[in-house]
Amino acid sequence: QVTAKTAFLFILPQYNVSVPTADGELVQYHYGLKDLVTILFYIFIAIVLHAVVQEYILDKINRRLHLSKVKHSKFNESGQLVAFHLTSVIWCLYVVVTEGYISNPRSLWENYPHVYLPYQVKFFYLCQLAYWLHALPELYFQKVRKEEIPRQLRCITLYLLHIAGAYLLNLTRLGLILLLLQYLAEFFFHMARLVYFTDENNEKLFNVWAVVFVVTRLFTLTLYILVIGFGLPRVESQALDPERGNFFSFLFNNILFRMSVLLLVCLFQASVMWRFIHFQLRRWREYWNEQSSRKRAAAAAGTKQQSKPLKRDSGYHENGVVKAENGTSPRTKKLKSP
């Protein structure tokens, strides 16, 4: 029994509480220090799954494609993230649908703070934290190039801040929707990269990713405005109460603070869109330059063929003898004198 209790500490989420409801009692969870032990266990699980995907899927594809070192590293990165994002999108969509967060948008801010979580919500957050923490030692295991480490560290840090912030500040419902939108756009981007590495002339999925990215950014901005601008200021409990998990809803009652937060959100989304537009313009410019260079090369080849002199004979050859067009010899016949 002692071993079983210790195993449950690593495998199952802790801090379960029986919450009374109209239908009886419902078991829910809150967070604590023991969550670190559970996260540590799933970090090792994520490392094992990462190695399985690399060994049995990505390495086999790489052997067939014969990619360069730079493309090989990017292919492995996108391959791992495609598997993770696809799993997370399906899992997150299932959670938000079954918990009713999409059908009832008011549930994103009603009864805040959301201290008690359903089992699947807490387990999802623990697995997400474990995955992005496991990505830190994977930078060493995968022998990532030094030039790529700052970019990947920045990406991992942003995901950890977002997920841990939503989990610790009891904004898990809003965090789930935002993660769903972000992972959906990231899935199409890395899928487009994989297709591009296999066939450099196929860039159709990048166009799909561009549309999905813009739509998800608009939904993200709308969601922020809805929750921060209209939802949280209407919460009944507006007093600061860290023991109950109410950290900052009282701040959103102040219109100046609320507008400042919304302004920062809008500026951040505007910077993201600006980088996206700059990337698309650079991509289109490279595409049109490539097309124009191909046209110039084709035109130069055509003019070269036209300028090449053609040798023409006055007749045609038959058995090594030049004949005239009517079959007679081109030699003029001597006229006999009368």
Closest to 80 measured CA to CA, from 40, 123, 51, 45? 51
Beta bridge partners of 117: 29
Token readout for 265 is 């959100």
What is the dihedral angle through the alpha carbons of 85, 90, 92, 97, rounded to the nearest 10 degrees?
Answer: 160
Residue 6 located in a structural domain: yes
Residues 160, 133 contacting (CB under 8 angstroms) = yes
Burial 281-300 (b: 16+ CB within 10 A, else e): eeeeeeeeeeeeeeeeeeee
**Number of domain units in the chain:** 1
pLDDT surpasses 90 at 112: no
Residue 243 located in a structural domain: no
Token readout for 215 is 């739509």
Closest to 232 measured CA to CA, from 261, 203, 207, 210? 261
Residue 250 located in a structural domain: no
pLDDT surpasses 80 at 244: no
Q: What is the pLDDT at residue 299?
A: 79
In which band, very low, low, confident or very high, does the pLDDT at 27 lie, cut at 50, 70 and 90?
confident
Longest Cα pair distance anywhere in the chain, in angstroms? 139
**pTM of the prediction?**
0.81
Residue 25 located in a structural domain: yes
For 168-212, the pLDDT digits (tens) are: 888 899 999 999 999 999 999 999 999 988 887 777 888 899 999
Give the mean model confidence (pLDDT) for residues 210-230.
89
Residue 278 located in a structural domain: no
In which band, very low, low, confident or very high, does the pLDDT at 158 lie, cut at 50, 70 and 90?
very high
Token readout for 62 is 């790489």
SS3 assignment, position 334:
coil
Residue 179 located in a structural domain: yes
pLDDT surpasses 50 at 338: no
For 129-146, the pLDDT digits (tens) are: 999 999 999 988 888 888
Strand 321-323 and strand 316-318: pairing? antiparallel
Q: At what angle do helices 255-307 and 204-224 cross, to 10 degrees?
A: 170
Q: Report how far apart the first and last C-alpha atoms of the chain are (Å, whole number).
A: 138
Residue 32 located in a structural domain: yes
For 269-290, the pLDDT digits (tens) are: 888 888 888 888 887 787 788 7
Domain limits for position 19: 1-202
Residue 146 located in a structural domain: yes
